[in-house]
Amino acid sequence: MKFSYFPGCSLKGMGGAYETSLIAVMEALSVQLEELDDWNCCGATAYMSVDESKAFTLAARNLAIAEKKTDDLLAPCAACFLVLQKTQKYIKDYPEVGRVVRESLRAGGYDYAGSTRIRHPLDVIVNDIGLDTIKKTVKHPLKGLKIAPYYGCQVVRPYATFDHQDYPVTMDNLLKALGADVVHYPLKTKCCGGSLTGTLPEVGARLSNILIREAKRQGADLITTLCPLCFFNLDSYQDKMEGPEKITMPITYFTQLMGLAFGMPSSKLGLKRHIIPILPILKERQVAIA
Amino acid sequence: MTEKKEEIRTGFYICHCGHNIGSVVDCPAVVEYVKGLPGIAVSRDYKYMCSDPGQELIAQDIREQKLNRIVVASCSPLLHEETFRKATSMGGLNPFYFQMVNIREHDSWVHTDKNAATEKAMDMARAAVARVRFHRALEKKKAPIHPDVLIVGAGIAGIHAALTLANAGKKVYLVEREPTIGGHMAMFDKTFPTLDCAACILTPKMSSVKNHPNITMWTYSEVTSVDGYVGNFTIKVRHKPRYIIEDLCVGCMACIDACVFKQKFEDEFNQGLSKRKPVYIPFPQATPQVVVIDPEQCLKLKTGKCKESCAEACDRKAIDFNQKETIEEIKVGTVIISTGFKSFDAKKLPQYGWGIYPNVYTALEIERLVNASGPTGGDVVMRDGKHPKRIGIIHCVGSRDESTNKWCSRVCCMYSLKLAHLLHEHSEAEIYNFYIDMRTPGKSYEEFYDRLLKEGVNFVRGRVAEITDWAMNKDEEDHLVIRVEDTLAGFVRRIPVDMVVLATGLEAREDAQDVRRLFNIGCGGEGFFMERHPKLAPVDTFTEGIFIAGACQGPKDIPDTVAQAGAAAAQCLALIDAGAIELEPNTAFIDEQSCSGCKSCISLCPYTAITFDAVKKKAVINEALCKGCGTCVGACPSSSIIQNLYEDDQIFTEIEEVLAHV
Ligand SMILES: Cc1cc2nc3c(=O)[nH]c(=O)nc-3n(C[C@H](O)[C@H](O)[C@H](O)COP(=O)(O)OP(=O)(O)OC[C@H]3O[C@@H](n4cnc5c(N)ncnc54)[C@H](O)[C@@H]3O)c2cc1C
């Protein structure tokens, strides 16, 4: 299995733990990732609201580069995943958008027919590789580890390409296959605050702290995410938590947990790149760390 | 194949159909145009050709002008072909010397350009006038109608139809797949809008069915094959083994008490709200009052090893572990399909939490929970053992929803009102109904809604976004929270409740497509069986002699279901009492001279109407079985199959002439 890989800016920066663990896990599953040549920022959601056609062109440039290869395009960051999909859909559904974008691309020597398949690694791992293979690859089941599966909003909304819009279960199933206990988590697709932590930090922090409190109430040891921005918001603002009791909750990428279960050395999984340290709870639950 | 040279004298009539045709097509211009066509003796227009004077015009012209061909340009043949054929024979001419042109549905209703529409009418008229020259006199064949009727599905629709027919003296086979008859209605405690007890009105009918000398009631049975045609169907019915000899069992239930199992299997009739043993009776008034053994669960049937205490307990020796499935063949003349509906699977909308939060229920589960003979005897106690103080009923779950089913399920607003009343009566809980629009059209229905408003039920307009157990504040803790945009108040509300009821919509049965194929009828896009005409033939299908009734045709309440069941029974009676039905003579026949005996037609015929005469080495078409589909005609390599009303020279002339204009 082979994919074109679009890391996006986050995975090269604050989401570094996501990238290292993803690459390690995919290697273990014999999936080849070829980083897209000369890729650029997808524009994230912010640019869309400033200038739509430039934002679409920016994102479409990546799609045009990917189209030259026939492989599907893997976009692990939930925002990239959404923006790329949205761009593709608008180019297809609104001929005027398509015309402007194609013209701009052509000026830069690019051409985009619209055929690139955009995939999220969670979808690929569970639906293409399959849970049977995952179970076979697990060396140290994450027994006794209670996990709140947090999807965030962007990976299933508005485009529910591989799971239910309001109540996805793909990651739940993956975590169970790793041997973990998945707690009931009613806020699994509620917003983490997104970029509000940058613009209105009190509001953003309050939203992400709601998620942490609820995970605690449901008995979770940690929260797992698939989005670098969610990870950042959840991990970084716990000191801003209001209320009497102090709660801390380690945050992980699902790929880090896969790596642990696969028995990979912690150096490959970015386990030290957390503000809320993760190692104590892993030790407490006697998760084997290679 | 014109029989002898005769002078063709054609009468042409164009109908204005009031404004329907007349306001778009210039009828007088068409009349003038047709006058110039070969063989035309009369060309006229008239406001309503289908009226008595219109028909008389044709008959009179045939007599006085010695017409021998008739063409009428008007509406769809589905509507009035028979009318004009009759007018043609009133004039003394064989009715098949007639041809109809549809300039309404195919022309005036679908075009706005008057000139072009008029030209199109001329083209179509020219083609018909040319075609009708090649028509021949044909005779309609009569098929006798076997007086027995098959009814498939014994919900209230099947039950009502069966009793109507049986009371009229007809013999009915009522085939039900489940171990008991009764359908959904048997699960209800009370019925809207009168709140009369469902059992009180249904169970007497169920026992009448059982005891009626004219009804053969087969439960735990299914139709496996259907052959033949109207008046003359051969049906095979499979009886699944109950492992009980029905004639011996008296329903004393001693075997159930004796069974070694605890009650540990989901009780389907109670929607899984209680448990039963592998040997069971679905509910106290089940008809027939005969137990059934589930072979997937019974120790003896699964493993062969059990001390068989049930058999020991039965002093009538009614238990028979060796029972096998049997197939029975019957002959009937007409069929009613009344297989009902299936409730929307609430799992498909996980945001409403069914299967995730124990205190979220479907409406059918609540029907059982408030039922005096239900799993709790009518006590509204939730899965967590508590009694609810506040209940939310959510309308349109799996109805009027782009992501699931687009249609309105018609009964959910009304049954939600009913359940609001019953839940309040049984629990004194405060009740909230969440609706998009209240839909209560029906006799005394709006009044029922009014009554509920006065009873103090809260109504919130808005489609519920989600049910969650995430508490935003103290008041919400340990509750289910209903999050909804209140579109009348104009803000988002979070309403904490203890219990949630999902008013799940009505869908076609999972196997509706199989049943459709079995009986050769149609399904609409939503999967419900299709009626021949939505207004004028609501219980007919496109297959002669097969009728539909009840919720299998589309979501509907009990009054409408019963009305349809009565209508379907009346349609059967009309055929049976006529004794015979005239068949369209549009069947195919073999030209023996040129048939090479290659047999290619035989396997193609969907009605197995073609056989091979081994002596003559020619194919033979059974006219009674042929439905005139034309498949063999097109496939015959030596053009040796001819179909009445669709002969080569008729069709080719028609095509040539209709295209002559281009
Ligand atoms: C929760 C709820 C509450 C309701 N409350 C009311 C109310 O208060 N008042 C009211 O007027 N209406 C009410 N309705 C509507 C009512 O249920 C229907 O109008 C009615 O049940 C339709 O009857 P039916 O005979 O067409 O179908 P069903 O009741 O579905 O019966 C069909 C029968 O056919 C059998 N069957 C199916 N397929 C086959 C097959 N292939 N071979 C043999 N047998 C087969 C089934 O087992 C079943 O016995 C309610 C509906 C729901 C969902």
Q: Which residues pair with B336 in a beta bridge?
A: B151, B547
- From B185, B195, B504, the mutation candidate for ligand 1 (largest count of ligand atoms within 8 A of CB) is B185
Which residue's CA is minimally distant from atom 49 of ligand 1?
A: B183
The helix (run of H) or strand (run of E) holding residue B342 is strand B341-343
> Residue B224: CB partners within 8 Å, gap ≥ 6?
B236, B237, B238, B327
Residue B641 has which token pair?
């199959």
pLDDT at residue A38 is higher than 60: yes
Indicate the pLDDT class of residue B499, thresholds 50, 70 and 90: very high
Closest ligand 1 atom to residue B514 Cα is 41
Residues of B in contact with A169 (CB under 8 A): 350
Is the distance from the beta carbon of residue B426 to the nearest atom of ligand 1 less than 6 Å? Answer: no
Closest ligand 1 atom to residue B183 Cα is 49
Could you say which of 3.40.640.10, 3.40.50.720, 3.50.50.60, 2.60.40.10 is the CATH number of the domain covering B141-240+325-341+512-582?
3.50.50.60
A166–B351 C-beta distance less than 8 A = yes
Q: How far is the CA of B300 from the centre of ligand 1 (A)?
A: 34
- From B184, B410, B557, the mutation candidate for ligand 1 (largest count of ligand atoms within 8 A of CB) is B184
Nearest-Cα distance to chain A for B472, in Å, is 9
B142-155: string of b/e by CB count within 10 Å (b at 16+)? ebebbbbbbbbbbb
Residue B400 has which token pair?
């009027």
B350–A166 C-beta distance less than 8 A = yes
ipTM of the prediction: 0.88
Closest partner CB to B470 (pick from A166, A169, A186): A186
Q: What angle do CA B141, B143, B146 make, to 5 degrees?
A: 175
Q: Where are the beta strands (DSSP E) in chain A?
A: 2-5, 32-35, 73-74, 118-119, 146-149, 181-182, 222-225, 251-253
Indicate the pLDDT class of residue A243, thresholds 50, 70 and 90: confident
Residue B267 has which token pair?
């009780």
Rounded CA-CA distance A220/A211 in Å is: 11
Q: How far is the CA of B376 from the centre of ligand 1 (A)?
A: 23
- Global pTM reads 0.87
Architecture of domain B10-138: 3-Layer(aba) Sandwich (3.40)
Residues of B in contact with A186 (CB under 8 A): 468-470
Nearest-Cα distance to chain B for A207, in Å, is 12
A248 in Cβ contact with A13 (< 8 Å): no
Domain extents for chain B?
A: 10-138, 141-240+325-341+512-582, 254-313, 344-507, 588-644
> A219 CB near a chain B CB, below 8 Å?
no
pLDDT at residue B26 is higher than 80: yes
pLDDT at residue B486 is higher than 60: yes
pLDDT digits (tens, 9 = 90+) for B270-282: 999 999 999 999 9
Residue A54 has which token pair?
């430039």
Q: Is the dihedral of CA B584, B588, B589, B591 positive or negative?
A: positive
Is the distance from the beta carbon of residue B188 to the nearest atom of ligand 1 less than 6 Å? Answer: yes
Are B10-138 and B344-507 the same fold in CATH? no
Residues of A in contact with B351 (CB under 8 A): 166-167
Rounded CA-CA distance B25/B47 in Å is: 13
Rounded CA-CA distance B350/A251 in Å is: 25
- What percent of chain A is predicted at pLDDT more than 70? 100
B350–A184 C-beta distance less than 8 A = no
> A92 CB near a chain B CB, below 8 Å?
no
Residue A172 has which token pair?
């739940």
pLDDT at residue B615 is higher than 90: yes
Indicate the pLDDT class of residue B4, thresholds 50, 70 and 90: low
Residues of A in contact with B470 (CB under 8 A): 186-187, 214
Of the candidates B503, B464, B190, which has an alpha carbon nearest to the alpha carbon of residue B362? B503
Q: One-letter amino acid identity for B62?
A: I
Closest ligand 1 atom to residue B362 Cα is 1
> A187 CB near a chain B CB, below 8 Å?
yes
Q: How far is the CA of B109 from the centre of ligand 1 (A)?
A: 39
pLDDT at residue B170 is higher than 50: yes
B351–A167 C-beta distance less than 8 A = yes
Rounded CA-CA distance B341/B155 in Å is: 10
Q: Which letter does DSSP use for residue A183 in this model?
A: P
CB atoms closer than 10 angstroms to residue B579: 12
Is the distance from the beta carbon of residue B411 to the nearest atom of ligand 1 less than 6 Å? Answer: yes
For each of the domains in chain A, give its residue range(s) and CATH number, in order of start. Answer: 2-119 (1.20.1050.140), 131-284 (3.40.50.11810)
pLDDT at residue A22 is higher than 90: yes
B115-124 average pLDDT score: 97
The per-residue pLDDT for B583 is 83
Pairing of strands B480-486, B464-468: antiparallel
For A183, the closest chain B residue by CA position comes to B356
Residue holding tokens 């993956």?
A174
CATH number of B588-644: 3.30.70.20
Q: Which letter does DSSP use for residue B357 in this model?
A: B
Q: How far is the CA of B217 from the centre of ligand 1 (A)?
A: 18
Rounded CA-CA distance B282/B292 in Å is: 9
Residue holding tokens 């009886």?
B239
Fold of domain B344-507: FAD/NAD(P)-binding domain (3.50.50)
DSSP characters over B382-448: -TTSPPPSEEEEEEEETSS-TTS--S--SSHHHHHHHHHHHHHHHH--EEEEEESS----STTHHHH
Indicate the pLDDT class of residue B623, thresholds 50, 70 and 90: confident
pLDDT at residue B624 is higher than 80: no
- What percent of chain B is predicted at pLDDT more than 90? 93
The helix (run of H) or strand (run of E) holding residue B576 is helix B558-578
Residues in chain B: 662
Is the distance from the beta carbon of residue B31 to the nearest atom of ligand 1 less than 6 Å? Answer: no
The per-residue pLDDT for A246 is 82
Which residue's CA is minimally distant from atom 3 of ligand 1?
A: B415
Counts of helices then strands in chain A (DSSP H, E): 14, 8
Rounded CA-CA distance B265/B271 in Å is: 11
Q: How far is the CA of B533 from the centre of ligand 1 (A)?
A: 23
Closest ligand 1 atom to residue B418 Cα is 8
Of the candidates B240, B267, B259, which has an alpha carbon nearest to the alpha carbon of residue B299? B259
Q: How far is the CA of A164 from the centre of ligand 1 (A)?
A: 30
A290 in Cβ contact with A265 (< 8 Å): yes
Q: Which one of A153, A159, A164, A187 makes the best mutation probe of the B interface by having the most chain B beta carbons within 10 Å?
A: A164
> Residue B634: CB partners within 8 Å, gap ≥ 6?
none
CB atoms closer than 10 angstroms to residue B95: 21
For A210, the closest chain B residue by CA position comes to B472
Nearest-Cα distance to chain B for A167, in Å, is 6
pLDDT digits (tens, 9 = 90+) for B425-483: 999 999 999 999 999 999 999 999 999 999 999 999 999 999 999 999 999 999 999 99
Residue B345 three-state SS? coil
The per-residue pLDDT for B662 is 63
The per-residue pLDDT for B141 is 84
> CB pairs below 8 Å between A and B: how many?
16
pLDDT digits (tens, 9 = 90+) for A161-220: 999 999 999 999 999 999 999 999 999 999 999 999 989 999 999 999 999 999 999 999
Which residue's CA is minimally distant from atom 4 of ligand 1?
A: B415
The per-residue pLDDT for B1 is 47
Q: How far is the CA of B153 from the centre of ligand 1 (A)?
A: 9
pLDDT digits (tens, 9 = 90+) for B345-389: 999 999 999 999 999 999 999 999 999 999 999 999 999 999 999
> A186 CB near a chain B CB, below 8 Å?
yes
Closest partner CB to A167 (pick from B350, B469, B470): B350
Q: Provide φ and ψ at B199, rounded to 5°.
A: -60, -40
pLDDT digits (tens, 9 = 90+) for A126-149: 999 999 999 999 999 999 999 999
Closest partner CB to A164 (pick from B350, B469, B470): B350
Residue holding tokens 């007409």?
B334
For B466, the closest chain A residue by CA position comes to A166
Nearest-Cα distance to chain B for A214, in Å, is 7
Q: Which one of B356, B401, B470, B482 makes the best mutation probe of the A interface by having the most chain A beta carbons within 10 Å?
A: B470
B282 in Cβ contact with B268 (< 8 Å): yes
Indicate the pLDDT class of residue B626, thresholds 50, 70 and 90: confident
Q: How far is the CA of B218 from the centre of ligand 1 (A)?
A: 18
A186–B351 C-beta distance less than 8 A = no
Closest partner CB to B470 (pick from A164, A169, A187): A187
Q: How far is the CA of B173 from the centre of ligand 1 (A)?
A: 19
Nearest-Cα distance to chain B for A121, in Å, is 23
CB atoms closer than 10 angstroms to residue B410: 19
Which residue's CA is minimally distant from atom 28 of ligand 1?
A: B340
The per-residue pLDDT for B320 is 96
Closest ligand 1 atom to residue B185 Cα is 21
Residues of B in contact with A157 (CB under 8 A): none
Q: Which residues pair with A230 in a beta bridge?
A: none
Q: What mean pLDDT, rounded, does chain B reach?
A: 95
Is the distance from the beta carbon of residue B155 to the nearest atom of ligand 1 less than 6 Å? Answer: yes
The per-residue pLDDT for B2 is 47
